[in-house]
Amino acid sequence: MPADVLAMTVAVGEGALSRAKYRAEKVSGNGAREKQDPARGRMAGQERRIDDTILIREAQRGDRAAFEELVRHYDQPVLRLALHLTGTEHDAQDVYQDAFLKAYKNIGSFRFECSFYTWIYRIVTNLCLDHLRKKTVRKEDAPVAKDGNGGEYDLLDQVADGRAGANPERDLMRRQLGARISGALEKLTPRERMVFELRHYHGLKLRTVGEILHTTEETAKNTLFRATQKLRGQLADMR
């Protein structure tokens, strides 16, 4: 028992140290800190994992700053997934908010049995599935839901400089294709949609997809097959 307490105290010390370092870097200009990351290459992934473990333990002790730091490691892909699945910024923000709040409230029960990545994705996909199911029941005018985030397109066009503007015809075709594809995606069952989304748009391996959705890799494979067949049927005239 005393050894246990000692180990915990050490962990707290380390955490405080790493955060102090983080703050020092922040003061000296966060640009420099971010620039180092790509240079570190493969090492970064491993460091991130260790770093995350410390952050998770601190968050489990109720350290909100550690949790917020943890959020920043995962929230961009989470928001991307929510945005693509729900189709509107408003709904995506709701999913984001609910997911991380739920994670915060339940982080005490995270026992390192799976990776934090899988754990957080489980929460997010469950919320997204709920959203998709509700949407299916409401039967909204879904196929053009993408038009809702027109603002985002404008912003992206700006960022991409002249590229999009230089070829308006191609840009238009890309948007039409996008609208047709999202229309076809809406017709999949929520689960098919989720498997397809995670594999196709977010590049997750089916093994991970299975883990996230509490199912086997084999079932995930079958679901992907069914989803693709349906989409091919829907978009048969596009070729």
Residues that bind other proteins (CB under 8 A): 4-5, 8-9, 12, 26-27, 29-31, 34-35, 60-62, 64-65, 67-68, 71-72, 75-76, 79-81, 83-84, 89, 92-93, 96-97, 100-101, 104-109, 151-153, 155-156, 158-159, 161, 174, 177-178, 181, 199-202, 205-206, 221, 224-225, 228-229, 231-232, 235, 238-239
Q: How far is CA 225 from CA 145, 175, 185, 235, in A?
A: 25, 26, 14, 15
CA atoms within 13 A on the CB side of 49: 8
CB of 72 to other proteins, least distance (A): 7
Residues 6+ apart with CB under 8 A from 50: none
Name the residue nearer to other proteins (CB basis): 104 or 138: 104
Q: Residues 6 or more apart from 29 whose CB is under 8 A from it?
A: none
> Minimum CB separation from other proteins for residue 80, in Å?
6
Q: Given the complex with other proteins, which of 212 and 231 has the nearer CB atom?
A: 231
| Distance in angstroms (rounded) separating the CA atoms of residues 19 and 58 | 11
What letter does residue 205 receive in the DSSP assignment? -
Q: Which is nearer to other proteins, 205 or 214 (CB)?
A: 205
Closer by beta carbon to other proteins, 52 or else 82: 82
Using the minimum distance from each CB to other proteins, give the nearer residue, 43 or 156: 156
Q: Please, what is the minimum distance in Å from the beta carbon of residue 21 to other proteins?
A: 14
Give min distance, CB of 87 to other proteins, in A.
11
Write the CB contacts of 8 (distance below 8 Å, at least 6 apart in sequence): none
Q: What's the chain's length in residues?
A: 239
Which amino acid does the sequence have at 215?
A: T
Please, are residues 52 and 74 in contact by the beta-carbon 8 Å criterion?
no
Least Å distance, CB 47 to other proteins, is 19
